[in-house]
Structure 1
């Protein structure tokens, strides 16, 4: 069974599982839960880490230098046990390193660490990818946290997402889980998107570029969750239609193109990390009750 660790301060409490280093709960000390609970009737995920791919590969097969490997949607990390390498009252850090088993799907040496840390009303989640081999490391990475919709205490209120940059970024649709080729007109107006379940009838709303480094998911008149993204240029919003959650997903990497190649290096926004180098990615969410 996975091991669970709880971190907390005077404002928030977070539970993290060793399986996928996935956050299981985010609650404020007044008893309100903010994170989706993983009800299998809708979706068993809560806040998976996506590595070494974001989204689907054609036929669940990844190609690397002409060789093919089995690769399920969103990669291998969310299905593997991480080791707890450091913890304090308010933070914990988990680590996943490559093994002969991981190399069957992803033939590279790597170290992936995931840290959860609390500071006041803010939770920061930071991933660091290290290339422990002597060749370049190609990968995509992303976060997939699901938050309650409606937000606690806001059951009768309309909800919306507003972009910090006030932009109207174009949206791209998925085709059979793969990235389409056409950018469509933004659903945002002056940086605001009024949420409705019908928005997600054709899967996620994906914004490859232009959504900026921060957004707020809020009910009219409150409460609100404010997000800041670090080194994550792609943003997606997703809900299983009608489900009581909204996923706010910052990524560096996306699914393969529909009708395109299965080659990892040709997926949009793939990172190529030099031998011996490390790179960090993360998000912060502030609870505004």
Structure 2
């Protein structure tokens, strides 16, 4: 098992696990933890990288040119060890490339770099998916960070909220029993632009916006330090926890689970993007600690 890697700038300290290039800790200057406690009673994940699929493929397969390939929920990147390709005190870059194992699930060559960089009170994470094939590369990608709920600043859990940067008038998608996206929708639980966090919101799984208008949200209690999470490159958003857990996930996605019963080509699935031969796509998220 590879050692976790720490980067710091005196304002923030981030620790990343090469297994999945997973952000596993984010602490402020006083050492207070801003991320999940990973309590195994609820979920041991911390911030998995979702690639090459986001969400649940119908019956755990994708179809490429009429052939089926087994792919589990959220893809295989989160279960694979990334190589460290660049590292300084306040930044590190990880890389995952295709091999015989990945091609059994996803029949393409790819290069996935994930860079973590601290800039003042901001952690920036930038993923770059490069296509070395001579055909277009279909893929989805998502971030899945789990932040401490409550944050470590003394406010009760019930006082925490998520505030969207823009109005979000659309209804939300619902999740079917098998984890795919059902045909029906659910009313938005927002109060204006504010989501008042409560366990009851998540009794039937995640809140899913398949067309989010905001490119950032803020998260925290009404008073005190809070987080701004910016996601300028992702058109979809999930928010999720398990009732009673000490985390809430803010998940910017460029992709989504399969529609219920979907048997079409992976390239044609909602949320899948394509990268031209020899080109690359960059998708970023930033987390800023605000006073």
User: Normalising by the residue count of structure 1, what TM-score does the alignment of the two structures yield?
Assistant: 0.97
Alignment of 1:232-247 (within 5 A): 232-247=234-249
* 182-191 or 230-239, larger mean C-alpha shift: 182-191
Superposed CA deviations along residues 86-120 of structure 1, whole A, max 9, x for unmatched, are: 01111000000111111011000000000110011
Report the alpha carbon displacement of residue 65 of structure 1 after superposing the two structures with TM. Answer: 1.4
After superposition, the CA RMSD in angstroms is: 1.2
* 269-278 or 179-188, larger mean C-alpha shift: 179-188
* 1:159 paired residue number: 160
Report the alpha carbon displacement of residue 262 of structure 1 after superposing the two structures with TM. Answer: 5.4
Distance 1:40 1:208 in 2: 29
Distance 1:217 1:264 in 2: 34
* 1:284 paired residue number: 286
Report the alpha carbon displacement of residue 173 of structure 1 after superposing the two structures with TM. Answer: 1.0
Report the alpha carbon displacement of residue 3 of structure 1 after superposing the two structures with TM. Answer: 2.5
Distance 2:174 2:224 in 1: 30
Structure 1 regions of 5+ residues with no counterpart?
none
Report the alpha carbon displacement of residue 222 of structure 1 after superposing the two structures with TM. Answer: 2.5
**What SS does the aligned partner of 1:276 have?**
coil
**What SS does the aligned partner of 1:50 have?**
coil
Report the alpha carbon displacement of residue 60 of structure 1 after superposing the two structures with TM. Answer: 1.1
Alignment of 1:47-66 (within 5 A): 47-66=47-66
Structure 2 regions of 5+ residues with no counterpart?
none
* 1:250 paired residue number: 252
* 45-54 or 159-168, larger mean C-alpha shift: 159-168
Alignment of 1:71-90 (within 5 A): 71-90=71-90
* 1:9 paired residue number: 9
Alignment of 1:118-197 (within 5 A): 118-156=118-156, 158-175=159-176, 176-197=178-199
In the TM superposition, structure 1's runs of 4+ consecutive aligned residues that sit over 6 Å from their partners are none
* 1:41 paired residue number: 41
Q: Aligned pair count?
A: 289
Superposed CA deviations along residues 136-182 of structure 1, whole A, max 9, x for unmatched, are: 11110000000011111234251111111133332111102101222
Alignment of 1:188-227 (within 5 A): 188-227=190-229
User: Normalising by the residue count of structure 2, what TM-score does the alignment of the two structures yield?
Assistant: 0.96
Distance 1:268 1:223 in 2: 37
Distance 2:14 2:228 in 1: 17
